[in-house]
Amino acid sequence: MRISVIGSGYVGLVSAACFAEIGHDVISVDNDGEKIAMLERGEVPIHERFLPELLARHRGGRLRFSTSVSEAVESSDVVFITVGTPQSETGEADLSFVEAVAQKIASAIRSQKRNLYQPDQKRSAGLIYKSIGRAVGIPEHTSTIAHHLEPAVRPLVPALACAAAAT
């Protein structure tokens, strides 16, 4: 499967590496060009045991890096949004980064996407995608929304790390 992971922070980068390890073709996207350049050079901006090995194994093969959301969306079947959601002044999650990425995804969709995932937000975030999709004329059936996938991905990290260490 062709997967895009928008956001190369802790959740996004680890998820991208794990997806590549289990055989998917992955594009990891970030709006920080310097971070993408670091990753392309093989530098790892966060600490996670065995992550450097996973990135080294798949960088340039199953795992690519980009600053282009539209390129990633156009070439993917599944899109994960893993951007930051800092606390707002009211104490709730600030979804402005999620909204900005969702707008970019909505404008880049040219074909049906199997799923648009947003792994670390409350269900209310799904309303953002549907409203943006409607605003730019994307039919409801074009995307499927799923939530709270981090618990599904997180258990893969130790198992994949062990597999990486064994090879």
CATH of the domain at 141: 3.40.50.720
pTM over 0.85: no
Tokens of 110: 């040219």
Tens digit of each residue's pLDDT (9 = 90 or more) over 99-140: 788 788 877 877 665 545 444 455 445 555 565 555 555 555
Cα dihedral across residues 98, 101, 106, 107: positive or negative: positive
pLDDT in tens, 36-79: 999 999 999 998 889 999 999 999 999 999 999 999 988 998 88
Structurally, the chain folds into a number of domains equal to: 1
Residue 26: its H or E element: strand 25-29
Which DSSP helix (H) or strand (E) runs through 81? Answer: strand 78-81
Handedness of CA 60, 46, 4, 2 (dihedral sign): positive
Domain of residue 136: give its range: 2-166
